[in-house]
């Protein structure tokens, strides 16, 4: 590619010539996706969809882009899947209670779009599931003190007396 556009040509002509010359040199041959249709041409353009697709390609979590009701629904799925990773029964109860409070609050607000049904979680059922899926705790190591055999006390060492 030449560095600068010549003064006498239009920008469009200059770009077209560069593309044509690169094609003649074969620089576009064997590129990944060559000959395949471009994805998404059958859908109307949406800035939101483009941003979500870009975030997915870059490996970002797109749940922050979801409407609140859908984000809660996604959070429920993740919570049900990963409840066993919480560290204590108290943590399970706190997380589930917080989730249920936010679902109730979502139902109290006017709907921004279509109604998304989000079921409340049963705290006791999830605590039981947490107990069931937890790995068993390692058995405590039993350490026994060595047997005491003829131990001389410090005062006996000083006096020179031995136990009998």
Q: What is the mean pLDDT of the chain?
A: 82
Residues of the chain with pLDDT under 50: none
Query: What is the per-residue pLDDT for 80?
Result: 92
Q: What is the pLDDT of residues 103-151, one digit of tens each?
A: 999 989 887 777 888 999 999 999 999 999 887 767 777 666 666 666 5
* C-beta separation of 65 from 52 below 8 A: yes
Pairwise CA distance, residues 14 & 17, whole Å: 5
Pairwise CA distance, residues 86 & 135, whole Å: 12
Query: What is the per-residue pLDDT for 151?
Result: 58
Instruction: Tell me the CB-side half-sphere exposure of residue 105, using CA atoms within 13 A.
Output: 8
Residue 56 tokens, joined: 């997915």
How would you label 82-92 residue by residue, b for 16+ Cβ within 10 Å and e otherwise? ebeebeeeeeb
Query: What is the per-residue pLDDT for 99?
Result: 95
pTM here is 0.54
């Amino acid at each position: 590619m030449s560095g600068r556009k010549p003064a006498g040509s239009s920008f469009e002509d200059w770009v077209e010539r560069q593309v044509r010359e690169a094609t003649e040199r074969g620089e576009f041959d064997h590129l990944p996706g060559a000959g395949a249709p471009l994805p998404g041409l059958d859908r109307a353009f949406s800035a939101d969809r483009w941003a979500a697709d870009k975030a997915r390609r870059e490996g970002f979590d797109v749940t922050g882009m979801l409407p609140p009701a859908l984000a809660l629904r996604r959070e429920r799925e993740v919570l049900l899947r990963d409840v066993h990773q919480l560290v204590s029964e108290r943590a399970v109860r706190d997380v589930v209670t917080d989730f249920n409070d936010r679902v109730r609050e979502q139902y109290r607000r006017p709907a921004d779009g279509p109604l998304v049904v989000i079921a409340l979680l049963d705290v006791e059922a999830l605590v039981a599931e947490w107990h069931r899926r937890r790995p068993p705790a390692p058995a405590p190591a039993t350490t026994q003190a060595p047997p005491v055999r003829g131990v001389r006390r410090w005062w006996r060492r000083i006096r020179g007396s031995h136990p009998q």
